[in-house]
Amino acid sequence: MSDVLIVRDLTKHFGKIKAVQNLSFELKRGTVFGMLGPNGSGKTTTLAMLLGVVRKTSGHFDWFGKGEHYALRKKIGAILEQPIFYPNLSALQNLRITAKIKEIQAVPYEQLLDTVGLLGRHNDAFKTYSLGMKQRLAIASAMLCDPEVLIFDEPTNGLDPQGIADIRSIISQIADQGKTIILASHLLDEVQKVCTDFMVLQSGTKIYQASVQEILHKNEKIELAAANMSSLKDLIEGRNDLILTQQQAQWFVVEPKEKNLSLEELNRYFFERGITLVHLRKVFSSLEQEFLEILSTNN
């Protein structure tokens, strides 16, 4: 999997304010990369530098192995601010104007509008759209040039739960097409459900980076219950690969010493020793739990 983007020691100061400080990371082709952090952590400033909207103070970045040249932005579609279109024109008319400005030829407008769920409203004026529909049109606009990389900065900001779910679904569909995506967000659930990898920014500095699956399986635990809890406990403590971490009212919580322990094997083990489990479930960490722990550790 090749690198689409390499960032090294990227820094931006606004006077005495250190908005981004010595930021380094790589973006692999085909990944959905989440940039997590509270407001003011440097997410938008970082994206603005990578797109040439804001001049960097120092450091460098390399798009597609060809450097920082502005012409490379033609391979990138982005939404950095609130979507702005002509209010009295339709979605289709706005997309055609945008394509003309960007000198993009042979655009599959119908396919794009269908992807973002606006095909049935493509002739309606932009001013009649809900906030979620406006954001969907912005995504269609970002995809006009069939970009290799898409950058979304807080794409669900201000949307209601249905709007958030719609945008999340669209981003997942785009990712399934093999596109590389950078998603900046402070919504942990959004990153957990959409992204393959993520990093955490705090006060302009990267404090953590990992794959989403790695963090979710970091503290994998198993819940078990049986009619005879005393006998179940004895069998749990008799296994060297299980650590009994909690004893709740309804079940035990154990931590396997090795990840991906088979629940089928575990169920068979207890059954063969006369214990029928009435509850057996794997429990994973949430990104929210880990995120808060990461921030508290770095405060």
Stated pTM of the model:
0.81
CA distances from 239 to 49, 224, 270 (A): 54, 14, 11
Which domains does the chain possess?
Answer: 3-216 (3.40.50.300), 221-283 (3.30.70)
Closest of 186, 175, 184 to residue 49, by C-alpha: 184
CA distances from 61 to 52, 73, 161, 208, 241 (A): 11, 13, 36, 19, 45
As given in the structure block, the two tokens for residue 285 are: 């960490």
Closest of 96, 77, 76, 78 to residue 86, by C-alpha: 96
Looking at residue 249, its pLDDT comes to: 79
Looking at residue 1, its pLDDT comes to: 56
pLDDT profile of the chain (299 residues), mean per 10: 90 95 95 91 94 94 88 85 90 95 90 94 95 94 94 91 91 93 88 91 92 82 93 93 88 87 92 95 80 74
Beta strand 221-226 with 252-256 is antiparallel
Closest of 282, 204, 149, 167 to residue 16, by C-alpha: 204
- Residue pair 60/132 in contact by the 8 Å Cβ criterion: no
Residue 147 CB contacts under 8 Å (≥ 6 apart), including other chains: 74, 75, 76, 77, 179
Return the bridge partners of 212, or none: none
| DSSP SS3 for 28 | strand
Looking at residue 299, its pLDDT comes to: 66
Looking at residue 92, its pLDDT comes to: 96
Going edge to edge, which strands form the sheet with 17-28?
Answer: 17-28, 3-14, 58-63
The whole-angstrom separation of Cα 195 and Cα 189 is: 10
Q: Determine the residue type at 101.
A: I
